[in-house]
Structures are given as structure tokens and as C-alpha cells.
């Protein structure tokens, strides 16, 4: 295995570990929100987790193709029993960190002349940018409208 391939495998595994953290964090939040009858917000969080699962799978596929072994360990502890404000702050931080990581990874893959992995990072980057925007919008609504907004999130996530 070349030095460049090893570098790309490391970048892919770092990304996969981040995706696993996001999946677990969002699923914990989904269950907590469902339990608290915030079904509409739970649905948004669950949908985001599913997208992250697809990212983790795509990263694993690329890792295997390159001869690597996909990590199965998240890169951070999962936070539990958070308020909605704390959940959204956690989510914003996860997405912001992922965006920075994936920008650097795409550049690293380009330097290693692995444009397929670079393209994968750029595709995932677009999704993460959308997730960040969604979470920032939710935070803005919570900050501006407080309990009035939170009341609109109750009930089943239709």
C-alpha cells in the first residue's frame, strides 16, 4: 500500500468515525424527543441520522475498495438527557466540525491524487452543509420564539 493510499484510508476512517458519532447522537436525540412528544423535531433528527448512515456506508465501501478496514468506533462520547437547546447546539458543533474535516480531507485526497475519494468527500460535504443550515434555522427559531416554537414541534412526526 502506498503512502498516499494510507493517507486517504486514514482520512476516510476519520470521517467514518465522525459519521458514527453523528448517527448515535442523532438517534439518542430522536428517541428522547419522541419520548417527550416532540415528534416533528424527532422526525427531522431521525432523517438526518439516516443520511449520516448512508455517508458511513459510502465511506466504508470506499475504504474496502482501497484495501482498508472501516472503523466501527465513533470518535466522541454520545451526550444524553440534553434539553432541546443543548441538542441543537451539539448538532451544530458536530456538523461544523464535520464540514471542516471534510474540506481538509477533500484537499488531502486531491494531494494524494485520489479524485474518487475527493469527490466522495465533496458530496458528503454538501449534505453536511445542508444539515448545518437546518440546525442553525432550528436554533434561530428556538432563540427567537422559545416555547411558542417548541409547542409547534409536539405531536406525531407526520
Residues 59-116 have pLDDT tens digits of: 999 999 999 999 999 999 999 999 999 999 999 999 999 999 999 999 999 999 999 9
What is the rounded distance in angstroms from the CA atom of residue 99 to the CA atom of residue 41? 23
Written as nine digits, the cell of 74 is: 465513533
Q: Is 0.75 surpassed by the pTM of this model? A: yes
Report domain extents, the chain: 3-70+83-152
The separation between CA 129 and the C-alpha centre of its own chain, rounded to angstroms, equals: 10
Residue 116 near residue 65, CB atoms below 8 Å: no
| More confident site: 155 or 104 | 104
158 pLDDT higher than 80: no
CATH topology of domain 3-70+83-152: Ferritin (1.20.1260)
Task: Report the C-alpha gap between 111 and 123 in whole angstroms.
Answer: 18
Query: Which residue blocks in the chain are alpha helix, DSSP H?
Result: 3-35, 39-65, 84-111, 115-145, 147-152
Asked whether the predicted pLDDT for residue 10 surpasses 70, the reply is yes
Class of residue 146 by CB neighbours under 10 A (exposed 0-12, middle 13-18, buried 19+): exposed
Q: What are the tens digits of pLDDT across the range 16-75?
A: 999 999 999 999 999 999 999 999 999 999 999 999 999 999 999 999 999 999 999 999
What is the rounded distance in angstroms from the CA atom of residue 45 to the CA atom of residue 28? 10
pLDDT classification of 1: cutoffs 50, 70, 90: low
Average pLDDT of the chain, as a whole number: 96
Q: Which three cell numbers stand for residue 93?
A: 458543533
Q: How far apart are CA 110 and CA 88, in angstroms?
A: 33
Amino acid at each position: 500500500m502506498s503512502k498516499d493510499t494510507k493517507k486517504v484510508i486514514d482520512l476516510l476512517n476519520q470521517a467514518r468515525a465522525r459519521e458514527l458519532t453523528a448517527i448515535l447522537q442523532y438517534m439518542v436525540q430522536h428517541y428522547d424527543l419522541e419520548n417527550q412528544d416532540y415528534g416533528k423535531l424527532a422526525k427531522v433528527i431521525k432523517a438526518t441520522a439516516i443520511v449520516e448512515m448512508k455517508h458511513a456506508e459510502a465511506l466504508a465501501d470506499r475504504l474496502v475498495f482501497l484495501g482498508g478496514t472501516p472503523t466501527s468506533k465513533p470518535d466522541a462520547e454520545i451526550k444524553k438527557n440534553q434539553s432541546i437547546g443543548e441538542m441543537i447546539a451539539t448538532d451544530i458543533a458536530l456538523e461544523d466540525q464535520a464540514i471542516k474535516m471534510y474540506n481538509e480531507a477533500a484537499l488531502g485526497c486531491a494531494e494524494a491524487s485520489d479524485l474518487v475519494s475527493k469527490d466522495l468527500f465533496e458530496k458528503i460535504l454538501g449534505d453536511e452543509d445542508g444539515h448545518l443550515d437546518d440546525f442553525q434555522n432550528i436554533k434561530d427559531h428556538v432563540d427567537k420564539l422559545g416555547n411558542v416554537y417548541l409547542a409547534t414541534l409536539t405531536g406525531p412526526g407526520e
